[in-house]
Structure 1
């Protein structure tokens, strides 16, 4: 069950996830710096990182959804986990897009408290989405192993991936 969206022999989706994850998380870091220092450059940088992170997230999501449709067998635990992974990361993109729009409405991209809270909720949702993605790859072997275990129990269960 190897990824169908590949470049130079590697699955593209895991290569791309570092960009939206890094950009959006760093944006929240710049928000914190802004709250500590009140420097306009930090709020401006955070807004631009969010824009780049959301755009890269859309590209990354497209590769993930293609693999989900083409690779992950229907009726398996992996299929359900993949759907939750995609939906939770979709929430991340929507949350950050809302945060960006709230900033756009302000002078100098000022992050209002609603914009900050939505971004922080986006980071939390990203943690869940990341864990689910790790479960797909590390536990179930989806997109990386031909002999994947799409119905392996949760890594939280203590059972082995092969079920033995």
Structure 2
């Protein structure tokens, strides 16, 4: 099932989601480093990583929602997509609350609640990321119809299955063969 939100022939959601996931997980790592070293710079960077990660996650979610709305109802992909999206809403909410609790002085070690919320959100993001990977790798959500190892570049304007040959050696593109039977 092809993505409805694309940029230069590629789905936008997977392009964007790496940034918030990386920023938010890095924030938790920096919190731990701050606790171990006492270096206030790590707490300050964690604070801003959370802010940027939550904003980036909201932007990526827009494109994820567009793709999810186009998945056929009643499919496993629709159900997994729902859990992926709802889980990520919880991840962003937990990180947002953690960020709000830190606003008094971002250079301080986060209080226990702020740290536990961020840690729980980071752990949950592993689960939601796996669900996103399941949708793409296993269920083909966001993958061009007819995708294969020798597909032409998405910038070529040709469908993924153009030039794909049948085992019998037919040079007729797969979409044309399927249409003609």
Fold shared, TM-score > 0.5 on shorter chain: yes
State the secondary structure of the residue aligned to 1:17.
helix
Paired residues of 2:34 and 2:109 also in contact (CA < 8 A): no
Deviations 1:1-22 (A, max 9, x none): 2001000110000000110011
Q: Which structure 2 segments of 5+ residues have no match?
A: 148-181
Aligned length: 147
Q: 1:107 to 1:90 in 2, by over 3 A?
A: closer
The corresponding residue for 2:20 is 20
Query: Equivalences for 1:92-107 in 2 at 5 Å?
Result: 92-106=91-105
Tell me if 1:49 matches 2:49.
yes
State the secondary structure of the residue aligned to 2:145.
coil
TM-score, length-scaled by structure 2: 0.78
The corresponding residue for 2:151 is none
Deviations 1:133-154 (A, max 9, x none): 0110000001113269xxxxxx
Deviations 1:33-71 (A, max 9, x none): 1010111111011000000000000000110001101x2
TM-score, length-scaled by structure 1: 0.86
State the shift of 1:75 in Å.
Answer: 0.8
Report the structure number with the largest CA radius of gyration.
2
The corresponding residue for 2:156 is none
Superposition RMSD on alpha carbons, in Å? 1.4
